[in-house]
Amino acid sequence: MRIQILSLRPDRLPASLRLAGYGVAVAVLLYLTQAPVTDLPPETLWDKAEHALAWLVLTAIGLAFWPRRPARVAGFAFLFGALVEVLQSTLPFGRDGDARDLLADSVGIVVAVAVWAALRRLAAPTLRRAKSRA
């Protein structure tokens, strides 16, 4: 009798589920960045730290879903951050676009990719040993 273990790797989920999950993350972030200031909870962190943390999480989710496409994930996150700032500058919700916010977004993206790359390097010897046994 052979027992099949369910893989818990997000990159092995069906593409439609990965896209839906990432779409939800993008939609939540879009709402939080475009909603009128009066509709949001009070700030608890420095604004730039909140931006960096939000884009770190967005990028980390993308890297978990598509680990073989780090440049595309990071590029999308950066372009999404730029779009957010353009929308904040143009939409009448009392928000202001700020290039420093995009810089903070970029810091979050770079940190996420750096941590992802370090984890991949640490896991590489283990993965090579597992493949050689198979």
Torsion of the alpha carbons at 104, 67, 73 and 41, rounded to the nearest 10: -50
Say if 111 falls within a structural domain: yes
Say if 69 falls within a structural domain: yes
Tell me the per-residue pLDDT of 1-26, one tens digit each, with 9 for 90 and over: 555 555 678 898 899 999 999 999 99
Range of the domain at 74: 47-134
Say if 56 falls within a structural domain: yes
Query: Exposed e or buried b for every residue in 76-101, given b needs 16+ CB within 10 A?
Result: bbbebbbebbeebeeeeeebeeeeeb
- What is the total count of domains within the chain? 1
pTM: 0.82
- Amino acid letter, 119: L
Say if 11 falls within a structural domain: no
Each of the 134 residues of the chain gets a pLDDT tens digit; together they read: 555 555 678 898 899 999 999 999 999 999 989 988 776 666 666 889 999 999 999 999 999 999 999 999 999 999 999 999 999 999 887 788 889 999 999 999 999 999 999 998 888 766 555 555 65
How is residue 96 written in tokens?
């202001």
Torsion of the alpha carbons at 76, 82, 83 and 86, rounded to the nearest 10: 180
